[in-house]
């Protein structure tokens, strides 16, 4: 056998649904890489003969290999910090006080409008590095802190540039309809027109987005406005997804499902009809425990219903300066289990196989199987549940991206 490299003395959490063991596990296994792909994997005793001197043979010291982690929902390109607002709130200020003082999402928009591309790139690079150190190999990045054409384009350009300059793959999402900018506060329809007729064509023309998203909420865009943006984006060839049912049940999830969205995200207030709509369309349900935690929410997403109707559950960081300033996909595993009562296996599936589905890349990544892209991590753990159980000492030992060992 001629491979590029091979790993032995490892256990595999393949997350492959064709393997019925918990985590799709193969213990005392080996995995071989050739031309960026997984060329062979299985129990070590079945490893075909190969010339040990012709290629690197890595020993995993009994650790576990998982697919590279996928964070399917982040807003990681932004400037400024909202730590002062955090402090103000802990000293008793309300969200409205802060908004009136020019804070909240608009303070991040102001900072992003002012920021140079190079500054946004550097901030994004540091955040991407933090995720990569914990085993993330693919990340989704949204715009949405520009709310004017120039800045939305700038944020997406930076996200694309990050993808070109980092081993982590970046999928970009146009979120022009994230909030209503102050200039349009009395003309939401006018802003939706700007998003559809000005921003979207520019974003498409420059190939800056893979998908589009909207914040469907009573403090943001209503159902009709959401439908307008998502339909236009879909006609322009983008995948669609939605911030839905975070603070109230607006019916956004059912709408997104009807349109064939890849995922609906947050969904704390989703009801059974909404869950059934997701099941019928194969739309993923993305849980964002970081935002639930940071906003001290108490309305739990409908986990039991998602299980009952077999909706693919995704877990993501929602990393952003306002509602989830936590730049760790790995910590989300722990939060998904402690706050939402997912099992560690469900949580891990949510940042691997199901996260790949939410981004439409499940044919390439998200599970360990022959022919898949060789994106995987070696962890210094004795059972996969350890990834969700403990946090703080980073157990990520090695990352292989596209078949190349990138971090040791």
Residue stretches of the annotated binding site: 73, 75, 82, 145, 178, 243, 246, 318, 320, 322-323
**What whole-number distance in Å separates Cα of residue 404 and Cα of residue 253?**
39
Q: According to CB under 6 A, which one of 322, 344, 366, 384 is a site residue for ligand DI6?
A: 322
CA distances from 115 to 122, 183, 204, 293, 300 (A): 11, 19, 23, 29, 36
Annotated binding residues for N-formimidoyl-L-glutamate, written as ranges, equal: 145, 320, 322
CB of 327 to ligand DI6, least distance (A): 14
Closer CB to Fe ion, 16 or 85, in the complex: 85
Which region, left, alpha or beta, applies to residue 135 given φ > 0 means left and ψ of -120 to 50 means alpha? left
| All residues at 6 or more sequence positions from 35 whose CB lies less than 8 Å from its CB, including other chains | 4, 403
Closer CB to Fe ion, 227 or 318, in the complex: 318
The reply to whether 291 sits near ligand DI6 by the rule CB under 6 A is yes
Its sign, for the CA torsion 285, 229, 105, 298, is: negative
Which of Fe ion, ligand DI6, none binds 321 (CB below 5-8 Å, type-dependent)?
ligand DI6
Q: According to CB under 6 A, which one of 103, 163, 274, 321 is a site residue for ligand DI6?
A: 321
CB of 144 to Fe ion, least distance (A): 8
**What whole-number distance in Å separates Cα of residue 78 and Cα of residue 141?**
10
Closer CB to Fe ion, 320 or 354, in the complex: 320
Which region, left, alpha or beta, applies to residue 218 given φ > 0 means left and ψ of -120 to 50 means alpha? alpha
- What phi and psi, each to the nearest 5 degrees, are found at residue 117? -55, -40
The reply to whether 105 sits near ligand DI6 by the rule CB under 6 A is yes
Q: What interhelical angle do 149-165 and 105-114 show, nearest 10?
A: 70
The reply to whether 320 sits near ligand DI6 by the rule CB under 6 A is yes
Annotated binding residues for Zn(2+), written as ranges, equal: 73, 75, 243, 318
Footprint (CB under 6 A) of ligand DI6, residues 216-275:
243, 246
Annotated binding residues for 4-imidazolone-5-propanoate, written as ranges, equal: 82, 145, 178, 246, 323
Which of Fe ion, ligand DI6, none binds 238 (CB below 5-8 Å, type-dependent)?
none
Which of Fe ion, ligand DI6, none binds 322 (CB below 5-8 Å, type-dependent)?
ligand DI6
The reply to whether 73 sits near ligand DI6 by the rule CB under 6 A is no
CB of 25 to ligand DI6, least distance (A): 35
Which of Fe ion, ligand DI6, none binds 215 (CB below 5-8 Å, type-dependent)?
ligand DI6
Q: Could you give the dihedral angle defined by the CA atoms of residues 296, 297, 302 and 306, in that order, rounded to the nearest 10 degrees?
A: -50
CB of 320 to Fe ion, least distance (A): 6
CB of 243 to Fe ion, least distance (A): 6
**What whole-number distance in Å separates Cα of residue 59 and Cα of residue 264?**
40
Extract the tokens encoding 382: 């004795």
CB of 31 to Fe ion, least distance (A): 34
User: Per-residue DSSP letters for 219-284?
Assistant: TSB-HHHHHHHHHHHHHTT-EEEEEESSSS--SHHHHHHHHT-SEEEE-TT--HHHHHHHHHHT-E
Find the radius of gyration of the CA atoms of the chain.
Answer: 21
**What whole-number distance in Å separates Cα of residue 212 and Cα of residue 174?**
5
Closer CB to ligand DI6, 58 or 215, in the complex: 215
Closer CB to ligand DI6, 23 or 145, in the complex: 145
CB of 369 to Fe ion, least distance (A): 30
The reply to whether 323 sits near ligand DI6 by the rule CB under 6 A is yes
CB of 79 to ligand DI6, least distance (A): 12
Number of residues that bind ligand DI6 (CB under 6 A): 11
What is the number of alpha carbons within 13 Å of residue 36 lying toward its C-beta? Answer: 5
CB of 247 to Fe ion, least distance (A): 12
Strand 376-379 and strand 313-315: pairing?
Answer: unpaired
Q: According to CB under 6 A, which one of 108, 143, 151, 286 is a site residue for ligand DI6?
A: 108
Options 183-191, 279-287, 320-328, 370-378: segment touching ligand DI6 (CB under 6 A)? 320-328
In contact, 322 and 76? CB cutoff 8 Å: no
The reply to whether 146 sits near ligand DI6 by the rule CB under 6 A is no
Overall size of the chain counted in residues = 408
Within 10 Å of residue 186's Cβ, how many Cβ atoms?
7
Contact positions vs Fe ion (CB under 5 A): 318
Extract the tokens encoding 255: 């709408």
* Positions that interact with ligand DI6 (CB under 6 A): 105, 108, 178, 215, 243, 246, 291, 320-323
């Amino acid at each position: 056998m001629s491979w590029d490299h091979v790993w032995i003395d490892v256990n595999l959490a393949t997350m492959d649904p064709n393997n019925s063991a918990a985590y799709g596990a193969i213990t005392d296994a080996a995995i071989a890489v050739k031309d960026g792909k997984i060329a062979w994997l299985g129990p070590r005793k079945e490893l075909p003969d190969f010339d040990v001197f012709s290629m690197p043979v890595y020993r995993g010291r009994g650790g576990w290999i998982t697919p590279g982690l996928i964070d399917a929902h982040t807003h990681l390109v932004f400037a400024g910090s909202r730590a002062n607002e955090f402090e103000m709130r802990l000293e008793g200020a309300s969200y409205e006080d802060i908004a009136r003082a020019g804070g909240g999402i608009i303070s991040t928009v102001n900072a992003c409008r002012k920021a140079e591309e190079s500054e946004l790139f550097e901030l994004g690079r540091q955040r991407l590095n933090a995720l990569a150190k914990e085993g993330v190999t693919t990340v989704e990045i949204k715009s949405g802190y520009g709310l004017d054409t120039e800045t939305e384009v700038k944020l997406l350009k930076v996200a694309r540039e990050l993808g070109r300059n980092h081993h982590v793959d970046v999928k970009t999402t146009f979120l022009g309809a994230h909030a209503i900018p102050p200039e349009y506060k009395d003309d939401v329809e006018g802003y939706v027109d700007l998003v559809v007729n000005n921003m979207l064509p520019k974003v498409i023309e420059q190939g800056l987005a893979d998908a589009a998203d909207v914040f469907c909420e009573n403090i943001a865009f209503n159902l009709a406005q959401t439908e307008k943006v998502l339909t236009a984006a879909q006609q322009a060839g983008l995948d669609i997804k939605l911030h839905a049912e975070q603070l109230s049940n607006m019916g956004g999830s059912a709408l997104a499902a009807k349109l064939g969205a890849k995922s609906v995200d947050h969904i704390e207030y989703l009801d059974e009809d909404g869950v059934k709509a997701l099941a019928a369309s194969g739309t993923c349900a993305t849980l964002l425990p970081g935002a639930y935690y940071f906003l001290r929410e108490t309305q739990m997403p409908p986990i039991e219903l998602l299980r009952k109707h077999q909706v693919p559950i995704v877990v993501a960081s929602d990393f952003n300066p306002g509602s989830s300033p936590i730049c760790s996909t790995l910590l989300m595993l722990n939060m998904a289990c402690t706050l939402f009562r997912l099992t560690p296996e469900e949580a891990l599936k949510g940042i691997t196989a199901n996260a790949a589905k939410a981004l439409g890349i499940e044919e390439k990544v998200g599970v360990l199987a022959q022919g898949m892209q060789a994106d995987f991590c070696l962890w210094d753990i004795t059972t996969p549940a350890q990834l969700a159980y403990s946090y703080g000492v980073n157990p990520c030992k090695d990352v292989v991206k596209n078949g190349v060992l990138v971090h040791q």
